[in-house]
Amino acid sequence: MKQSLSILCLLLVPLGLLHGSDSPDGGSSSLWTHIRQSSDLKELRSINAEWDAGSLGGLLKLTATDSVNHYAWAVIPQPTGGWNLALRSSVQCEITNRGAAPANVQLWVVGDHGWDAISDIATLAAGSTRQFSCRLRETFPDGTPKINPDQINAIQIMIAGRLEIPATIEVRGLVATGSAPEWKRPDGRMDVPNVKDIPPSPGHRVRYRLPEDEQANIYSVLHLPKDWVPGGKYPVIVEYPGNIFFVNGCYSTGLPEQCVIGYGMSKGEGAISLGLPFVDRQAGGIAESGWGNADETADYLLRMVDEVCTKFGGDRANLVLTGFSRGAIACGYIGLRNDQIAPLWKGFHACQHYDGDGWGGATMSEAIQRARRFRGAAVFHTDNSQEKFQPVMDAMTARVTFVKSGLGSHSPAMFLDERPSTRQLRQWFLGLCHVPGQKGQ
């Protein structure tokens, strides 16, 4: 049977209230009055979009024509001046499935500056309509806020899953609604700089390409610390992201932009952070899911680490590898792949998975073999099972720490706040590496 992977419509709509559009009495306010035509959409990934400005409340028709990794989307840029949702309780819209088959539809409100995302997910039968609503004050199971309603990046409307025919949905009446008390930022919660396409400079996260990749869609995300100066020497935290994955409780793009653990470990000071991609040169870009070509991914790591150490003062004696989910498995699967790459590391930090759990061919027996290549001093685990991974740790013959974050969700959000496990990780990092000017966190 011929498959059509035109399975996911994802609408990215920045949460924006036009000037004067907010409703002080808690009524509804339109979030997309700045859209005049479909060309106002910033990005279209394997999708056709039709905007009907004449429809009451606005109407966006999305038809997925194909997909990449089972996802297609449209992006609407935020309006000039941003948004004001600090006193709002939810974001809502009405979605109709105009296709001939059921569709798993997801509404996401996505935070900015390293904040997470909130969702409402349901399967719509062909021809059916449902009101979707995302609660702006939603928290993780431990009560940690998922997003800052003052810092919302986008709204995403998705259709997820495999379809054998094109999928079409209509989105109506995208609004902010309800009232809520003034939002209070948790003490110590960090904001991560957004990624920019500018030359590297202190305090900025930038997309960085190797010279041979200037024309390719392969890049890393480089952050030079706020206190970086030319000629200095700095530890480097190298990081891999999770897979592209969108389910309740987990929003993951699979791209280097989502690497925030290094920033959280260092608090943006005293160390360089480097978010890496999984590389698939035959496909011409970054592998959002899986390893890409594992050998190419390892080779890219070697060249990128050398670039950062040579040009930006990275300290080859203080390299730490970290990652979330797929990225945590990559610490062993990629970071100990051969005798050339394995000696780089002074330490590993893995969050919610590790090499040997079976995913992507990372079997326990082969993970133990790779572990014997480790020449570093210490390994730190966040939200991993000591019982499960102790055989691998025994083969590494290093100091090992296991902690529970208490977050209760598949997310790296815990590294941007002041919980005990994060403070312990920061102390571990400072004790492992010489961090200029840092005596404690």
pLDDT at residue number 436: 60
The verdict on 279 and 174 lying in the same domain is no
Q: Report yes or no on 440 lying in a domain.
A: no
Predicted confidence (pLDDT) per residue in 189-247, tens digit: 999 999 999 999 999 999 999 999 988 899 999 999 999 999 999 999 999 999 999 99
Q: Of 152, 179, 206, which closes a domain?
A: 179
The verdict on 287 and 421 lying in the same domain is yes
pLDDT at residue number 67: 62
pLDDT at residue number 7: 38
Give the burial class of 412: count Cβ atoms within 10 A of its Cβ; 0-12 exposed, 13-18 middle, 19 or more buried: buried
Q: Of 179, 203, 230, which closes a domain?
A: 179
Q: Report yes or no on 5 lying in a domain.
A: no
Q: Which of 202, 234, 200 is closest to 314 using CA atoms?
A: 234
For the chain, how many structural domains are there in total?
2
The verdict on 233 and 305 lying in the same domain is yes
pLDDT at residue number 71: 81
- Per the CB < 8 A criterion, the answer to whether 428 and 403 are in contact is no
Q: Of 155, 179, 203, which closes a domain?
A: 179
Q: Is the pLDDT of residue 114 over 70?
A: yes
The verdict on 172 and 209 lying in the same domain is no
The verdict on 107 and 218 lying in the same domain is no
CATH assignment of the domain containing 362: 3.40.50.1820
Q: Are strands 88-97 and 73-75 parallel, antiparallel or unpaired?
A: unpaired
- Per the CB < 8 A criterion, the answer to whether 172 and 22 are in contact is no
The verdict on 133 and 254 lying in the same domain is no
Q: Report yes or no on 2 lying in a domain.
A: no
Rounded mean pLDDT of the chain?
90
As a whole number, mean pLDDT of residues 264-284 equals 96
The verdict on 134 and 216 lying in the same domain is no
Q: Is the pLDDT of residue 1 over 50?
A: no
Q: Report yes or no on 441 lying in a domain.
A: no
Cα separation, 175 vs 151, in Å, equals: 16
Q: Report yes or no on 293 lying in a domain.
A: yes
Q: Which of 97, 441, 143 is closest to 265 using CA atoms?
A: 441
Q: Report yes or no on 266 lying in a domain.
A: yes
Query: Residue 246 carries which side chain, given as an amino acid letter?
Result: F
Domain span at residue 331 reads 195-432
Q: Is the pLDDT of residue 75 over 80?
A: no
CATH assignment of the domain containing 30: 2.60.120.430
Query: Residue 350 carries which side chain, given as an amino acid letter?
Result: A
The verdict on 166 and 201 lying in the same domain is no
Could you tell me the two tokens for 233?
């020497």
Q: Report yes or no on 6 lying in a domain.
A: no
The verdict on 157 and 225 lying in the same domain is no
The verdict on 238 and 322 lying in the same domain is yes
The verdict on 304 and 263 lying in the same domain is yes
Q: Report yes or no on 51 lying in a domain.
A: yes
Q: Which of 214, 223, 152, 222 is closest to 183 using CA atoms?
A: 152
Q: Is the pLDDT of residue 12 over 60?
A: no
